[in-house]
Amino acid sequence: MMQTQKDRNTFNLLADVGGTNTRLALAQDGQILQGTIQRLRNDQHTSLDSVLAAYFSQKGPVTCDIAAAAIAAPIEDGVGRMTNLNWQISAHTITKNTGATRAIVINDLQAQGYALGRMDKANLIPVISGKAAKDSATRLVVGLGTGFNAVPVFTQSGTLFVPPSETGHTSLPIRSETEYALAKYLAKSGASATLEDLLSGKGLARAYGFFSQIGPDTALPEPAWVIQAAHSGHDESAVKTLNIFVHLLGRSIADLANIHLPFGGIYLVGGVARAVTPFLDVMDLKGAFRGKGKAQTIMENFPIYLVDNDFAALDGCLQVIEQSD
């Protein structure tokens, strides 16, 4: 809902609640107020209520009209329990803690999908080229961060529709003996390894543990350290980790592309996606993505971009508010 001039002291609240950080902003007149954007670390808080209290303590009294929160969790009836954080978030508690007239809660990858409706092309970095398509063509957003997820983005009569999804819990497309051994290492309680078990920050760290044969009592390195070690080229285990990460990423995205046919493009989002981008070309993401046998020709239609905007989900939250009016 776009604010009118008479509502100058009333704002919409936008929140992107990830596994590691929560990003917040206020919006008015259909625009995010850049000076209100803030990132808060979740490990310094016990709940979203605490995060919101810290945010408003710095902003002063704020009158909220609509609050939209994107959270890293499946949502049912406006309630979600975080997948990688022990927080439960609901529309009811958000309205209670913000004074908003109503609240909207969606999955964080849905917000990234809705953000395409407000995307600045300057924030799109080409990864793999493809053929131009109509603006109404289906798109696919793939999120790599604390967890993994992917969602299709549909355009219906000029309006975006992004269905919920928990793609990260589907199985890894393993082929080689090394990949099979890694999958067994990554799997929990005898279950098959999932996309999120590898294609995420924690997955990178655990894959490094596999290749370097780190013992069960030894702490794993941070994902950023693994990526930096692979950059240096002096740590063979780190290089192997990024190589298998890129190859399985390419195959996983290819499987999703064959399901959704994203002629409008595939969009990589998230901190891990941005961090591994320098490896995507040299470790042949294109070969893994397009190596689909009989389906190889159609794969050439799907361009892949990196979304270089850490706050894109806030744009998605605002898009959802405006479409809900």
What integer best gives the mean pLDDT of the chain?
92
pTM, 2 dp? 0.92
The band of 4, judged by pLDDT with boundaries at 50, 70 and 90, is very low
- Amino acid identity of 140? L
- Average pLDDT for 146-166: 94
pLDDT reported for residue 158 = 87
Are 167 and 148 in contact by the 8 Å Cβ rule? The answer is yes
Which pair of tokens denotes residue 59?
């902003």
- Average pLDDT for 47-52: 94
Statement: residue 2 has pLDDT above 60: no
Statement: residue 288 has pLDDT above 80: yes
Are 314 and 32 in contact by the 8 Å Cβ rule? The answer is yes
On the question of a common fold for 5-115+311-324 and 123-308, the answer reads no
Rounded Cα distance between 203 and 206, Å, is: 5
pLDDT reported for residue 251 = 96
Statement: residue 188 has pLDDT above 80: no
- The CATH T-level fold of domain 5-115+311-324 is Nucleotidyltransferase; domain 5 (3.30.420)
Half-sphere exposure of 36 toward its Cβ, with a 13 Å CA cutoff?
21
- Average pLDDT for 251-278: 96
Report CA torsion sign: 114, 118, 121, 124: negative
Tell me what percent of the residues of the chain surpass a pLDDT of 70.
97
pLDDT reported for residue 309 = 95
Closest by CA position to 67, among listed 257, 323, 258, 320 = 320
Greater confidence (189 vs 208) lies with 208
Burial of 282 (C-beta count, 10 Å sphere; 0-12/13-18/19+): exposed
- Average pLDDT for 249-264: 96
pLDDT tens digits, one per residue of 106-137: 999 999 999 999 999 999 999 999 888 888 99
57-61, 78-82, 180-184, 261-265: least confident range: 57-61
45 DSSP 8-state letter: -
Helix (H) or strand (E) holding 93: helix 91-98
pLDDT reported for residue 192 = 85
Statement: residue 62 has pLDDT above 60: yes
Q: Is 5 helix (H, G, I), strand (E, B) or coil?
A: helix
Statement: residue 51 has pLDDT above 50: yes
- Average pLDDT for 75-90: 89
Q: Which CATH class is domain 123-308?
A: alpha beta
pLDDT tens digits, one per residue of 203-225: 999 999 999 998 777 899 999 99
Closest by CA position to 64, among listed 6, 23, 118, 14 = 14
Query: Structural domain boundaries of the chain?
Result: 5-115+311-324, 123-308
